[in-house]
Structure 1
Amino acid sequence: MTLKYVWLDVDPRNASQGHDDATALMMACQLENIKLLGVSSVHGNASADCTAKNTARCLHAFAASSDVLVYRGASKPLLRPTKHDPEIHGEDGLGGVVGLPSADSPEVQARFARNDDGSFIHAIEGMATSIKDVWHNGTGRQVSVVSSGPMTNIALFISVYPDLLEAVEQFVFMGGGVGLGNRSAVAEFNIMCDPEAAQIVLDAPVKTVMIPINVTHTAIVTPVIHSRLRSPHLPLLEWRTLSSLISFFAGTYKSTFGFDQGPPLHDALTIAYVSHPELFQVQRYRVDVELHGKHTAGETVIDIWNYRICDDSWGSTGKNCLVVQGGSGVAQFFELLLDCVSRCDGVSPLNVHRI
């Protein structure tokens, strides 16, 4: 199994740094073929300060390697006012969670990447350094850059370090929809937060993979899956932490969107895709973001009928994006997830206090 080098950019709001963000983080820490290089936080479901702290809390709880640190990123979109989503994820982005350590605890504070003078190392600096070290002037390996929130940090990296784009294997992002929105009639939250950043990523000369809400809305934590998270064999990490996150997310998704069978785990599908792309069907399209429409800003426009003349390149002139269509991989995804949770439960420092 080929080892995949990954940089993860998150906005801990739901279960996977927030809610489903935390699940993505946990899987990135525990999948055997994923080498997590670092994690950058970004504004999104909660403020930039909250997302950074939540990311550090999750890295500690999920037993990330000690060299995996949090790099604070953008606090606002490139051009637009900041949006948060407390309605879905809680005021601090980890609504309803129990069992995680305090953000001020020494073990959590140790997770922040700092300069020698104690100042924080910025997301794009950390990203560039890690990618450069792994790429090693072309003699090393490329890195998959994965985004589960607004893509402000990724756009800044592309703009500031264009010479490192050859070291990026792919940009994989959870966001957008095919004729579907979740925070407006046609726009998905991550893209709507910073549509200009998303367009910059789509225009970069690097393979881009979009996992839209059409697909993530099929990855439902049903009562059957949730009951497995409540297994008596995994009483602390699964029940107290992941289960409490998912329970909160289930309530908000039911009240806001009418999901009766359970909440979707959007963001974790990004890590599952990088680890096991064979589980997913994809189709290559030209994808752009609507930037100016009064009612459609943030909409991902997928050229399904090939109206736009494109070449074979990635980026601004080509069919620039692999759009995940779904497939038979949801059941396998949850088996991957539960296996990661089981593995994590055996090494999590939270379980030191298990009764």
Structure 2
Amino acid sequence: MKYIWLDCDPGHDDATAILLAIQCPGITLLGVSTVHGNANAENTNNNAARCLYAFAAPSHIRVCPGATKPLIRAERHDPEIHGIDGLGGVEGLPHASHPGVQTRLIDHGAPIRALEGMAYAVRQTWKEGQGHKVTMISSGPMTNVGLFVSVYPELLDGIEEFVFMGGGVGIGNRSAAAEFNILCDPEAAQIVLDAPVKKTMIPLNVTHTAIVTRAVHARLLSPAFGIVAPPGPAAPGATLPRASTPLRHMLSTLIGFFADAYKSTFGFVDGPPLHDALTVAYVARPELFACRRYRVDVELAGAHTAGETVVDVWNYRQCDDSWGRNGKNCMVAEKLEVDGFFKLFLDCVARCDKVSPLNQ
């Protein structure tokens, strides 16, 4: 069993990470915190609560609101990809004012802040070595995680691993060199990379292989749909099956908006990549990934390369065996078993189908 804390900025693909965190076998979700990123902090907080409700998270899980801006830099959002509120185009997901969503936003009348929630979860789970270590997952800018590392160094022994979706090896997506999550708060990312704890980076090079194709989308809508759109130029326009449940309809609209955004912005014609869901998939099923250990740093001062993850693939930097400031500090995912990932994803949707309040 893996005990995880999820820090996120929902975001369409963050929503799928939340679904997996709740429904993956072998995963115990301890809590969720939110951060600025794909939308402003108020929207990401509300969106996380909406997802917790829709995906039937255990009733004690509440959203812990976190940083509203980066450590140093001006905040940035991504409405071109995610819409103004972070979950543009989604149908069937209750509004933040829904009573079931509201219960996810407060705890005993007030929200618990991200750092407090993180620290409490680690203390209560680790129990000073008598319990279990916590894997901390980040699917957004790492402001909250960087603050946790800085404020609670005594709790780092209770962290098994930091897993983050972010960065790229030689590629970016929100500048010529930088990936969005890292670009939003590169200083926080460097703080985490310097922490003396194992890290695993899921970069764009891998997430861009986790494409929700027409065939996957059809199976998402209807598990019984065995014949997908024919191959060839006509396939992208082929009719998809009707959603078999309200939950699946909601997820289809989420994927559909994301697909349109990735097609118009980045030219992805086969479907959108489910970046953030891979973080939870890695924790639940590490055998689906091929990883290699490298020294990774973040460019903080480059006029054209700020936010770039500099992966020392040729071992130019002399490093020790630690995971910290002077070591080979990060496992970097290099390959994904794509079919295995989507089987896991669709299995989690099927599990959620049985319990989601959207279907009742």
- Is TM > 0.5 for Structure 1 vs Structure 2? yes
- How many Å separate the matches in 2 of 1:247 and 1:8? 24
Conserved in 1, the CA contact under 8 Å of 2:290 and 2:333? yes
Match of 2:56 in 1: 63
Specify the code of the residue in structure 1 equivalent to 2:51. C
Structure 2 residue ranges without an equivalent (≥5): 225-242
- 1:309 matches 2:300: no
Match of 1:98 in 2: 91
Match of 1:260 in 2: 269
Q: CA RMSD in A?
A: 1.0
Match of 1:141 in 2: 132
Q: Cα distance, 1:95 vs. partner?
A: 0.8
- 1:171 matches 2:162: yes
User: Secondary structure of the residue that 1:166 maps to in structure 2?
Assistant: helix
Match of 2:175 in 1: 184
- 1:230 matches 2:221: yes
Deviation string 1:223-243 (CA, Å, 9 cap, x unpaired) is: 000011111776234432110
TM-score by length of 2: 0.93
- How many Å separate the matches in 2 of 1:128 and 1:122? 10
Specify the code of the residue in structure 1 equivalent to 2:335. G
Match of 2:6 in 1: 8
Match of 1:244 in 2: 253
Q: Cα distance, 1:165 vs. partner?
A: 0.2
- 1:338 matches 2:346: yes
Conserved in 1, the CA contact under 8 Å of 2:247 and 2:356? no
- How many Å separate the matches in 2 of 1:246 and 1:108? 22
- How many Å separate the matches in 1 of 2:114 and 2:68? 11
User: Secondary structure of the residue that 2:58 maps to in structure 1?
Assistant: coil
Deviation string 1:154-198 (CA, Å, 9 cap, x unpaired) is: 001111100000000000000000000000001000000000000
- How many Å separate the matches in 1 of 2:63 and 2:338? 29
Moved over 3 A (4+): none
- 1:350 matches 2:341: no
Conserved in 2, the CA contact under 8 Å of 1:229 and 1:238? no
Q: Cα distance, 1:119 vs. partner?
A: 3.1
Conserved in 1, the CA contact under 8 Å of 2:67 and 2:144? yes
Conserved in 2, the CA contact under 8 Å of 1:237 and 1:348? no
Conserved in 1, the CA contact under 8 Å of 2:82 and 2:258? yes
2:42 pairs, out of 34, 42, 49, with 49
Conserved in 2, the CA contact under 8 Å of 1:230 and 1:238? no
Conserved in 2, the CA contact under 8 Å of 1:97 and 1:244? yes
Q: Cα distance, 1:36 vs. partner?
A: 0.2
Q: Cα distance, 1:5 vs. partner?
A: 0.1
Match of 2:229 in 1: none
Q: Cα distance, 1:200 vs. partner?
A: 0.3
Specify the code of the residue in structure 2 equivalent to 1:341. V
Structure 1 residue ranges without an equivalent (≥5): 14-18
